[in-house]
Amino acid sequence: MTLRVLSLASEAFPLVKTGGLADVAGALPDAVGPAGIEMTVMLPGYPVVMKGLKRAKLLHHYADLLGHEARLLRGKIGVHPLVVLDAPGLFDRDGGAYGDQNGRDWADNWLRFAAFAKAGAELAAGVVGGGKPFDVLHAHDWQAAMAPAYLRFLHGDKGVAPKSVMTIHNIAFQGQFARTIFPKLGLPPAAWAMDGVEYYGDVGFLKAGLEAADAITTVSPTYAREIRTPGFGMGLEGLIVAKSDRVTGIVNGIDPAIWNPAHDPALAKTFTVRTLARRVANKRAVEQAFGLEPGDGPLFIVISRLTWQKGMDVLAATLDHLVASGGRLALLGSGDAALENAFHQAAARHPGRVAVRIGYDEPLSHLMQGGGDAILVPSRFEPCGLTQLYALAYGCVPVVARTGGLADTVIDANVAALAAGTATGIQFDGLTLDSLSLAISRTVRLYHQPERWGAIQQCGMKSDFSWTHSGRAYADLYARLCSPA
Protein backbone atom coordinates (compact mmCIF):
# COMPACT_ATOMS: atom_id res chain seq x y z
CA MET A 1 0.00 0.00 0.00
CA THR A 2 1.33 3.43 -0.88
CA LEU A 3 1.47 5.80 2.07
CA ARG A 4 0.94 9.50 1.38
CA VAL A 5 3.12 11.85 3.39
CA LEU A 6 2.92 15.65 3.50
CA SER A 7 6.38 17.04 4.28
CA LEU A 8 6.21 20.61 5.60
CA ALA A 9 9.44 22.58 5.44
CA SER A 10 10.36 26.25 5.31
CA GLU A 11 12.97 25.53 2.62
CA ALA A 12 13.69 22.81 0.06
CA PHE A 13 16.43 22.54 -2.55
CA PRO A 14 16.46 23.56 -5.38
CA LEU A 15 13.71 26.15 -4.87
CA VAL A 16 14.92 27.84 -1.68
CA LYS A 17 17.94 27.06 0.48
CA THR A 18 19.67 28.69 3.41
CA GLY A 19 21.14 25.55 4.97
CA GLY A 20 21.10 21.79 5.40
CA LEU A 21 17.34 21.63 5.99
CA ALA A 22 16.77 22.52 2.34
CA ASP A 23 19.00 19.71 1.12
CA VAL A 24 17.19 17.19 3.30
CA ALA A 25 13.65 18.37 2.52
CA GLY A 26 14.53 18.42 -1.19
CA ALA A 27 16.02 14.92 -1.15
CA LEU A 28 13.44 13.13 1.02
CA PRO A 29 10.80 12.48 -1.68
CA ASP A 30 13.35 10.56 -3.75
CA ALA A 31 14.77 8.88 -0.67
CA VAL A 32 11.48 7.39 0.53
CA GLY A 33 9.95 6.79 -2.91
CA PRO A 34 11.49 3.34 -3.42
CA ALA A 35 9.88 2.17 -0.18
CA GLY A 36 6.40 2.97 -1.48
CA ILE A 37 5.99 6.42 0.05
CA GLU A 38 4.44 9.20 -2.03
CA MET A 39 5.73 12.43 -0.53
CA THR A 40 4.30 15.87 -1.22
CA VAL A 41 6.50 18.80 -0.17
CA MET A 42 4.82 21.94 1.12
CA LEU A 43 6.63 25.30 1.10
CA PRO A 44 5.80 28.94 1.86
CA GLY A 45 5.31 31.06 -1.27
CA TYR A 46 8.40 33.25 -1.05
CA PRO A 47 9.12 35.09 -4.33
CA VAL A 48 11.80 32.54 -5.34
CA VAL A 49 9.36 29.69 -4.82
CA MET A 50 6.55 31.44 -6.71
CA LYS A 51 8.98 32.05 -9.58
CA GLY A 52 9.87 28.35 -9.69
CA LEU A 53 6.24 27.25 -9.68
CA LYS A 54 5.13 26.21 -13.16
CA ARG A 55 1.56 25.44 -14.30
CA ALA A 56 0.19 25.62 -10.78
CA LYS A 57 -3.28 24.35 -9.97
CA LEU A 58 -5.46 26.03 -7.36
CA LEU A 59 -6.23 23.65 -4.50
CA HIS A 60 -7.88 26.04 -2.09
CA HIS A 61 -8.62 29.72 -1.59
CA TYR A 62 -8.53 31.14 1.94
CA ALA A 63 -10.43 34.41 2.34
CA ASP A 64 -8.94 34.61 5.82
CA LEU A 65 -6.04 32.48 7.01
CA LEU A 66 -5.11 33.97 10.39
CA GLY A 67 -6.06 37.37 8.96
CA HIS A 68 -4.54 36.97 5.50
CA GLU A 69 -5.89 36.06 2.11
CA ALA A 70 -4.07 33.00 0.80
CA ARG A 71 -4.14 30.23 -1.79
CA LEU A 72 -2.85 26.68 -1.78
CA LEU A 73 -1.29 25.95 -5.15
CA ARG A 74 -0.22 22.59 -6.46
CA GLY A 75 2.87 22.23 -8.66
CA LYS A 76 5.99 20.09 -8.84
CA ILE A 77 9.39 19.98 -7.20
CA GLY A 78 11.42 17.85 -9.60
CA VAL A 79 9.07 14.98 -10.40
CA HIS A 80 7.34 15.12 -7.01
CA PRO A 81 4.17 16.89 -5.96
CA LEU A 82 4.60 20.30 -4.36
CA VAL A 83 2.08 22.48 -2.54
CA VAL A 84 2.82 26.16 -2.02
CA LEU A 85 1.09 28.50 0.40
CA ASP A 86 0.75 31.68 -1.65
CA ALA A 87 0.03 34.39 0.92
CA PRO A 88 1.47 37.63 -0.47
CA GLY A 89 0.86 39.56 2.78
CA LEU A 90 3.14 37.10 4.57
CA PHE A 91 5.68 35.91 2.03
CA ASP A 92 5.89 38.30 -0.92
CA ARG A 93 8.69 40.56 0.28
CA ASP A 94 12.31 41.36 -0.58
CA GLY A 95 14.89 39.74 1.65
CA GLY A 96 15.37 36.20 2.87
CA ALA A 97 13.10 33.41 3.99
CA TYR A 98 13.36 34.43 7.62
CA GLY A 99 14.50 38.03 7.65
CA ASP A 100 15.18 41.25 5.79
CA GLN A 101 18.20 42.18 3.71
CA ASN A 102 20.11 43.13 6.87
CA GLY A 103 19.54 39.70 8.38
CA ARG A 104 16.97 40.95 10.94
CA ASP A 105 14.23 38.39 11.54
CA TRP A 106 10.82 39.41 10.22
CA ALA A 107 8.79 40.68 13.19
CA ASP A 108 5.78 38.63 12.10
CA ASN A 109 7.63 35.30 11.73
CA TRP A 110 5.27 33.78 14.29
CA LEU A 111 2.30 34.64 12.06
CA ARG A 112 4.00 33.64 8.80
CA PHE A 113 4.85 30.19 10.09
CA ALA A 114 1.69 29.69 12.15
CA ALA A 115 -0.33 30.32 8.97
CA PHE A 116 1.94 27.96 7.02
CA ALA A 117 1.54 25.25 9.66
CA LYS A 118 -2.22 25.72 9.97
CA ALA A 119 -2.72 25.40 6.23
CA GLY A 120 -0.46 22.33 6.23
CA ALA A 121 -2.46 20.69 9.00
CA GLU A 122 -5.74 21.41 7.19
CA LEU A 123 -4.42 20.00 3.94
CA ALA A 124 -3.05 16.92 5.71
CA ALA A 125 -6.37 16.36 7.45
CA GLY A 126 -8.27 16.66 4.16
CA VAL A 127 -10.22 19.67 5.46
CA VAL A 128 -9.06 21.80 2.52
CA GLY A 129 -7.80 20.89 -0.94
CA GLY A 130 -10.60 18.49 -1.79
CA GLY A 131 -8.47 15.36 -1.43
CA LYS A 132 -8.31 12.48 0.98
CA PRO A 133 -6.42 13.02 4.23
CA PHE A 134 -2.72 12.24 4.09
CA ASP A 135 -1.47 9.29 6.11
CA VAL A 136 1.37 11.23 7.73
CA LEU A 137 2.25 14.86 8.27
CA HIS A 138 6.02 15.30 8.58
CA ALA A 139 7.01 18.68 10.05
CA HIS A 140 10.59 20.00 9.90
CA ASP A 141 11.94 22.41 12.53
CA TRP A 142 10.10 25.17 14.37
CA GLN A 143 8.77 26.84 11.25
CA ALA A 144 6.55 23.80 10.55
CA ALA A 145 6.22 22.65 14.15
CA MET A 146 2.81 24.14 14.84
CA ALA A 147 1.31 21.78 12.24
CA PRO A 148 1.18 18.74 14.58
CA ALA A 149 -0.27 21.06 17.24
CA TYR A 150 -3.01 22.29 14.88
CA LEU A 151 -3.71 18.68 13.92
CA ARG A 152 -3.99 17.73 17.56
CA PHE A 153 -6.11 20.62 18.77
CA LEU A 154 -8.29 21.27 15.70
CA HIS A 155 -8.56 17.93 13.95
CA GLY A 156 -7.63 15.34 16.57
CA ASP A 157 -11.19 14.24 17.24
CA LYS A 158 -12.10 13.51 13.62
CA GLY A 159 -11.47 9.79 13.73
CA VAL A 160 -8.30 8.88 11.88
CA ALA A 161 -6.31 12.10 11.79
CA PRO A 162 -2.97 11.81 10.00
CA LYS A 163 -0.10 10.64 12.15
CA SER A 164 2.57 13.25 12.70
CA VAL A 165 6.36 13.22 12.74
CA MET A 166 8.41 16.13 14.06
CA THR A 167 12.02 16.31 12.90
CA ILE A 168 14.53 18.46 14.75
CA HIS A 169 17.24 19.66 12.40
CA ASN A 170 18.59 22.04 15.04
CA ILE A 171 17.15 22.37 18.53
CA ALA A 172 18.85 25.74 18.98
CA PHE A 173 16.13 27.31 16.85
CA GLN A 174 12.87 26.91 18.72
CA GLY A 175 10.46 29.62 17.56
CA GLN A 176 9.71 31.13 20.96
CA PHE A 177 7.32 34.09 21.00
CA ALA A 178 5.52 36.31 23.54
CA ARG A 179 2.38 34.85 25.08
CA THR A 180 0.36 37.75 23.61
CA ILE A 181 0.31 35.97 20.25
CA PHE A 182 -1.59 33.01 21.65
CA PRO A 183 -5.14 34.37 21.06
CA LYS A 184 -4.19 35.08 17.43
CA LEU A 185 -3.18 31.50 16.62
CA GLY A 186 -6.74 30.22 16.21
CA LEU A 187 -6.26 27.49 18.80
CA PRO A 188 -8.75 26.53 21.54
CA PRO A 189 -7.99 27.81 25.07
CA ALA A 190 -7.06 24.25 26.10
CA ALA A 191 -3.94 24.51 23.94
CA TRP A 192 -2.50 26.99 26.45
CA ALA A 193 -1.08 24.32 28.72
CA MET A 194 2.25 22.88 29.82
CA ASP A 195 1.76 19.93 27.51
CA GLY A 196 0.42 22.21 24.76
CA VAL A 197 2.00 25.33 23.31
CA GLU A 198 3.01 27.08 26.55
CA TYR A 199 6.78 27.26 27.02
CA TYR A 200 8.20 29.00 30.10
CA GLY A 201 5.34 31.52 29.94
CA ASP A 202 5.77 32.14 26.21
CA VAL A 203 4.50 30.31 23.14
CA GLY A 204 6.97 27.68 21.91
CA PHE A 205 6.45 26.47 18.35
CA LEU A 206 8.99 23.63 18.41
CA LYS A 207 7.87 22.71 21.91
CA ALA A 208 4.24 22.51 20.75
CA GLY A 209 5.21 20.30 17.81
CA LEU A 210 7.24 17.95 20.00
CA GLU A 211 4.36 17.65 22.47
CA ALA A 212 1.85 16.87 19.74
CA ALA A 213 3.84 14.63 17.38
CA ASP A 214 3.40 10.86 17.32
CA ALA A 215 7.12 10.45 16.59
CA ILE A 216 10.15 12.68 17.01
CA THR A 217 13.27 12.32 14.95
CA THR A 218 16.52 14.15 14.79
CA VAL A 219 19.27 13.91 12.26
CA SER A 220 21.86 11.67 13.93
CA PRO A 221 21.90 9.09 16.71
CA THR A 222 24.54 10.99 18.70
CA TYR A 223 22.52 14.23 18.56
CA ALA A 224 19.43 12.26 19.63
CA ARG A 225 21.37 11.35 22.80
CA GLU A 226 22.97 14.76 23.26
CA ILE A 227 19.67 16.68 23.28
CA ARG A 228 18.63 14.82 26.43
CA THR A 229 21.24 16.88 28.30
CA PRO A 230 21.04 20.55 29.32
CA GLY A 231 24.13 21.53 27.33
CA PHE A 232 22.54 20.46 24.06
CA GLY A 233 18.78 20.36 24.75
CA MET A 234 18.62 24.14 25.22
CA GLY A 235 15.63 24.02 27.55
CA LEU A 236 13.84 21.15 25.82
CA GLU A 237 15.92 18.36 27.36
CA GLY A 238 13.24 17.52 29.94
CA LEU A 239 10.63 17.07 27.22
CA ILE A 240 13.00 14.98 25.11
CA VAL A 241 13.79 12.72 28.07
CA ALA A 242 10.10 12.38 28.91
CA LYS A 243 9.33 11.35 25.33
CA SER A 244 12.50 9.37 24.74
CA ASP A 245 10.55 6.26 23.72
CA ARG A 246 9.44 8.09 20.58
CA VAL A 247 12.76 9.84 19.73
CA THR A 248 15.08 8.37 17.09
CA GLY A 249 18.13 9.63 15.23
CA ILE A 250 18.34 9.15 11.45
CA VAL A 251 21.46 10.44 9.73
CA ASN A 252 20.94 12.61 6.65
CA GLY A 253 22.01 11.24 3.30
CA ILE A 254 23.38 13.11 0.33
CA ASP A 255 21.75 13.40 -3.03
CA PRO A 256 24.02 11.69 -5.59
CA ALA A 257 22.35 13.53 -8.46
CA ILE A 258 23.65 16.79 -7.03
CA TRP A 259 26.79 15.78 -5.13
CA ASN A 260 28.80 13.43 -7.30
CA PRO A 261 32.38 14.31 -8.33
CA ALA A 262 32.12 12.10 -11.40
CA HIS A 263 29.37 14.30 -12.91
CA ASP A 264 29.59 17.68 -11.24
CA PRO A 265 29.34 20.59 -13.70
CA ALA A 266 30.78 22.98 -11.08
CA LEU A 267 34.15 21.20 -11.10
CA ALA A 268 37.08 22.21 -13.30
CA LYS A 269 37.74 18.47 -13.68
CA THR A 270 35.49 15.61 -12.65
CA PHE A 271 37.05 12.60 -10.91
CA THR A 272 36.38 9.31 -9.18
CA VAL A 273 38.05 7.36 -6.43
CA ARG A 274 40.33 5.88 -9.10
CA THR A 275 41.32 9.22 -10.64
CA LEU A 276 42.06 11.28 -7.55
CA ALA A 277 45.05 12.90 -9.26
CA ARG A 278 42.60 14.88 -11.38
CA ARG A 279 41.57 16.81 -8.24
CA VAL A 280 44.62 19.02 -8.66
CA ALA A 281 42.88 20.94 -11.45
CA ASN A 282 40.13 21.82 -8.99
CA LYS A 283 42.68 22.81 -6.38
CA ARG A 284 44.26 25.22 -8.84
CA ALA A 285 40.82 26.60 -9.70
CA VAL A 286 40.05 27.20 -6.01
CA GLU A 287 43.42 28.90 -5.52
CA GLN A 288 42.69 31.11 -8.48
CA ALA A 289 39.13 31.90 -7.41
CA PHE A 290 40.40 32.96 -3.97
CA GLY A 291 43.69 34.54 -5.03
CA LEU A 292 45.74 32.06 -3.00
CA GLU A 293 49.38 31.29 -3.72
CA PRO A 294 50.26 27.68 -4.47
CA GLY A 295 51.98 25.88 -1.60
CA ASP A 296 53.27 22.52 -0.42
CA GLY A 297 50.99 22.22 2.58
CA PRO A 298 47.31 21.29 2.59
CA LEU A 299 44.63 23.61 1.28
CA PHE A 300 42.01 23.79 4.04
CA ILE A 301 38.50 24.89 3.16
CA VAL A 302 35.50 26.09 5.17
CA ILE A 303 31.93 26.31 3.83
CA SER A 304 29.76 27.45 6.68
CA ARG A 305 27.45 29.83 8.38
CA LEU A 306 29.81 32.05 10.34
CA THR A 307 28.36 31.58 13.81
CA TRP A 308 29.26 30.56 17.34
CA GLN A 309 27.59 27.16 16.81
CA LYS A 310 30.03 26.43 14.00
CA GLY A 311 33.04 27.26 16.22
CA MET A 312 34.11 29.99 13.84
CA ASP A 313 35.40 32.23 16.65
CA VAL A 314 37.92 29.56 17.68
CA LEU A 315 38.82 28.84 14.08
CA ALA A 316 39.57 32.52 13.44
CA ALA A 317 41.91 32.44 16.44
CA THR A 318 43.85 29.42 15.10
CA LEU A 319 44.59 30.81 11.66
CA ASP A 320 48.06 32.09 12.54
CA HIS A 321 48.89 28.54 13.66
CA LEU A 322 47.33 27.07 10.52
CA VAL A 323 49.52 29.27 8.33
CA ALA A 324 52.64 28.67 10.47
CA SER A 325 52.07 24.92 10.00
CA GLY A 326 52.22 25.38 6.24
CA GLY A 327 48.49 25.30 5.60
CA ARG A 328 46.37 27.66 3.55
CA LEU A 329 42.67 28.43 3.95
CA ALA A 330 39.85 29.27 1.53
CA LEU A 331 36.71 30.22 3.44
CA LEU A 332 33.22 30.67 1.99
CA GLY A 333 30.50 31.78 4.35
CA SER A 334 28.44 34.52 5.85
CA GLY A 335 26.98 35.27 9.22
CA ASP A 336 27.97 37.31 12.26
CA ALA A 337 29.57 40.61 11.34
CA ALA A 338 32.24 40.26 14.06
CA LEU A 339 33.29 36.87 12.71
CA GLU A 340 33.31 38.10 9.11
CA ASN A 341 35.62 40.84 10.36
CA ALA A 342 37.92 38.44 12.18
CA PHE A 343 38.37 36.41 8.99
CA HIS A 344 38.96 39.54 6.90
CA GLN A 345 41.67 40.53 9.36
CA ALA A 346 43.30 37.09 9.16
CA ALA A 347 43.27 37.36 5.37
CA ALA A 348 44.93 40.78 5.62
CA ARG A 349 47.63 39.33 7.92
CA HIS A 350 48.25 36.39 5.61
CA PRO A 351 47.78 37.49 2.00
CA GLY A 352 47.97 34.58 -0.41
CA ARG A 353 47.62 32.11 2.48
CA VAL A 354 44.20 32.93 3.91
CA ALA A 355 41.37 34.10 1.67
CA VAL A 356 37.76 34.79 2.49
CA ARG A 357 34.65 35.00 0.36
CA ILE A 358 31.68 36.40 2.23
CA GLY A 359 28.43 35.31 0.63
CA TYR A 360 26.52 32.29 -0.53
CA ASP A 361 27.74 30.51 -3.65
CA GLU A 362 26.48 27.02 -4.41
CA PRO A 363 28.74 26.25 -7.45
CA LEU A 364 31.83 27.57 -5.64
CA SER A 365 31.02 25.31 -2.68
CA HIS A 366 31.11 22.29 -5.04
CA LEU A 367 34.43 23.37 -6.55
CA MET A 368 35.93 23.81 -3.08
CA GLN A 369 34.88 20.30 -2.05
CA GLY A 370 36.46 18.98 -5.26
CA GLY A 371 39.73 20.91 -4.84
CA GLY A 372 40.30 21.38 -1.12
CA ASP A 373 42.54 18.91 0.71
CA ALA A 374 40.70 19.10 4.02
CA ILE A 375 37.52 20.75 5.28
CA LEU A 376 37.37 22.21 8.79
CA VAL A 377 34.11 21.68 10.71
CA PRO A 378 34.87 22.70 14.31
CA SER A 379 31.23 22.90 15.47
CA ARG A 380 30.29 23.25 19.14
CA PHE A 381 27.22 21.20 18.27
CA GLU A 382 26.17 19.74 14.94
CA PRO A 383 22.87 17.87 14.62
CA CYS A 384 24.08 16.09 11.47
CA GLY A 385 26.17 18.35 9.29
CA LEU A 386 26.26 17.96 5.55
CA THR A 387 29.50 19.60 4.51
CA GLN A 388 31.55 16.76 5.99
CA LEU A 389 29.43 14.26 4.03
CA TYR A 390 29.96 16.14 0.77
CA ALA A 391 33.67 16.32 1.62
CA LEU A 392 33.82 12.55 2.13
CA ALA A 393 32.22 12.01 -1.27
CA TYR A 394 34.67 14.43 -2.90
CA GLY A 395 37.94 13.16 -1.40
CA CYS A 396 38.29 16.27 0.79
CA VAL A 397 39.30 15.01 4.23
CA PRO A 398 36.99 16.20 7.03
CA VAL A 399 38.57 17.60 10.20
CA VAL A 400 35.70 17.70 12.68
CA ALA A 401 34.72 18.16 16.30
CA ARG A 402 33.50 14.92 17.84
CA THR A 403 29.86 15.91 18.33
CA GLY A 404 26.44 15.05 16.88
CA GLY A 405 26.44 13.84 13.31
CA LEU A 406 30.12 14.66 12.93
CA ALA A 407 30.88 11.95 15.51
CA ASP A 408 28.63 9.50 13.66
CA THR A 409 29.90 10.00 10.12
CA VAL A 410 33.69 10.48 10.32
CA ILE A 411 36.13 7.79 11.44
CA ASP A 412 39.15 9.30 13.14
CA ALA A 413 42.57 8.48 11.74
CA ASN A 414 43.87 7.06 15.00
CA VAL A 415 46.51 4.34 15.02
CA ALA A 416 44.01 1.49 15.01
CA ALA A 417 41.86 2.95 12.21
CA LEU A 418 44.92 3.74 10.12
CA ALA A 419 46.18 0.18 10.58
CA ALA A 420 42.77 -1.25 9.70
CA GLY A 421 42.40 1.08 6.71
CA THR A 422 39.08 2.45 7.97
CA ALA A 423 40.03 6.06 8.74
CA THR A 424 38.08 8.73 6.85
CA GLY A 425 39.06 11.94 8.63
CA ILE A 426 40.35 13.64 11.76
CA GLN A 427 38.29 14.15 14.90
CA PHE A 428 39.03 16.15 18.03
CA ASP A 429 37.28 16.39 21.39
CA GLY A 430 35.94 19.57 22.92
CA LEU A 431 36.48 22.72 20.90
CA THR A 432 39.34 24.83 22.28
CA LEU A 433 42.19 26.72 20.71
CA ASP A 434 44.52 23.87 21.68
CA SER A 435 42.34 20.99 20.49
CA LEU A 436 41.71 22.61 17.11
CA SER A 437 45.36 23.61 16.69
CA LEU A 438 46.42 20.05 17.47
CA ALA A 439 43.92 18.69 14.94
CA ILE A 440 45.30 21.05 12.31
CA SER A 441 48.85 19.91 13.11
CA ARG A 442 47.80 16.26 12.88
CA THR A 443 46.16 16.96 9.53
CA VAL A 444 49.28 18.64 8.15
CA ARG A 445 51.45 15.72 9.30
CA LEU A 446 49.14 13.18 7.68
CA TYR A 447 48.97 15.22 4.50
CA HIS A 448 52.74 14.92 4.18
CA GLN A 449 52.41 11.10 4.22
CA PRO A 450 50.89 10.71 0.75
CA GLU A 451 50.16 7.01 1.03
CA ARG A 452 48.23 7.38 4.27
CA TRP A 453 46.52 10.52 3.04
CA GLY A 454 45.42 8.82 -0.18
CA ALA A 455 44.06 5.87 1.79
CA ILE A 456 42.00 8.22 3.99
CA GLN A 457 40.63 10.01 0.93
CA GLN A 458 39.71 6.77 -0.78
CA CYS A 459 38.11 5.28 2.29
CA GLY A 460 35.95 8.41 2.66
CA MET A 461 34.91 8.31 -0.98
CA LYS A 462 33.87 4.69 -0.63
CA SER A 463 31.73 5.24 2.46
CA ASP A 464 28.04 5.11 1.71
CA PHE A 465 26.11 8.21 2.69
CA SER A 466 23.48 7.82 0.01
CA TRP A 467 19.88 8.09 1.16
CA THR A 468 19.32 4.35 0.79
CA HIS A 469 19.51 3.48 4.50
CA SER A 470 18.04 6.69 5.86
CA GLY A 471 15.21 6.77 3.31
CA ARG A 472 14.27 3.29 4.41
CA ALA A 473 14.45 4.32 8.07
CA TYR A 474 11.96 7.17 7.49
CA ALA A 475 9.71 4.91 5.41
CA ASP A 476 9.75 2.27 8.16
CA LEU A 477 8.85 4.92 10.71
CA TYR A 478 5.85 6.13 8.62
CA ALA A 479 4.71 2.53 8.14
CA ARG A 480 5.01 1.76 11.85
CA LEU A 481 2.94 4.81 12.75
CA CYS A 482 0.23 3.87 10.29
CA SER A 483 0.00 0.18 11.07
CA PRO A 484 -2.80 -0.75 13.45
CA ALA A 485 -1.35 -1.31 16.94
CB 386 to ligand ADP: min, Å:
4
Q: Which is nearer to ligand ADP, 23 or 412 (CB)?
A: 23
CB 19 to ligand ADP: min, Å:
3
* Interaction between residue 249 and ligand ADP (CB under 6 A): no
Q: Which is nearer to ligand ADP, 23 or 226 (CB)?
A: 23
Query: Do the beta carbons of residue 297 and residue 314 sit within 8 Å?
Result: no
**Closest alpha carbon to 373 in 419, 325, 429, 317:** 325
Taking each helix axis from N to C end, the angle separating 109-124 and 205-212, rounded to the nearest 10 degrees, works out to: 20
Total residues interacting with ligand ADP, rule: CB under 6 A: 17
Which span (16-24, 131-139, 424-432, 475-483) binds ligand ADP, by CB under 6 A?
Answer: 16-24
Which span (148-156, 233-241, 340-348, 361-369) binds ligand ADP, by CB under 6 A?
Answer: 361-369
* Interaction between residue 431 and ligand ADP (CB under 6 A): no
Q: Which is nearer to ligand ADP, 20 or 44 (CB)?
A: 20
Q: Which is nearer to ligand ADP, 19 or 33 (CB)?
A: 19
Q: Among 100, 195, 293, 362, indicate the residue that binds ligand ADP (CB under 6 A).
A: 362
Q: Which is nearer to ligand ADP, 107 or 172 (CB)?
A: 172
* Interaction between residue 305 and ligand ADP (CB under 6 A): yes
d(C-alpha 225, C-alpha 473), whole Å: 18
Q: Among 386, 391, 396, 426, indicate the residue that binds ligand ADP (CB under 6 A).
A: 386
Q: Among 11, 23, 198, 408, indicate the residue that binds ligand ADP (CB under 6 A).
A: 23
CB 266 to ligand ADP: min, Å:
11
**Can you give the length of the chain in residues?**
485
Which span (4-12, 116-124, 354-362, 435-443) binds ligand ADP, by CB under 6 A?
Answer: 354-362
Q: Which is nearer to ligand ADP, 121 or 314 (CB)?
A: 314
* Interaction between residue 365 and ligand ADP (CB under 6 A): yes
Q: Which is nearer to ligand ADP, 162 or 333 (CB)?
A: 333
d(C-alpha 109, C-alpha 146), whole Å: 13
DSSP strand pairing (247-249 vs 215-218): parallel
Q: Which is nearer to ligand ADP, 87 or 166 (CB)?
A: 166
Give the footprint of ligand ADP on this chain (CB under 6 A): 19-20, 23, 303-305, 332-334, 360-362, 365, 384-387
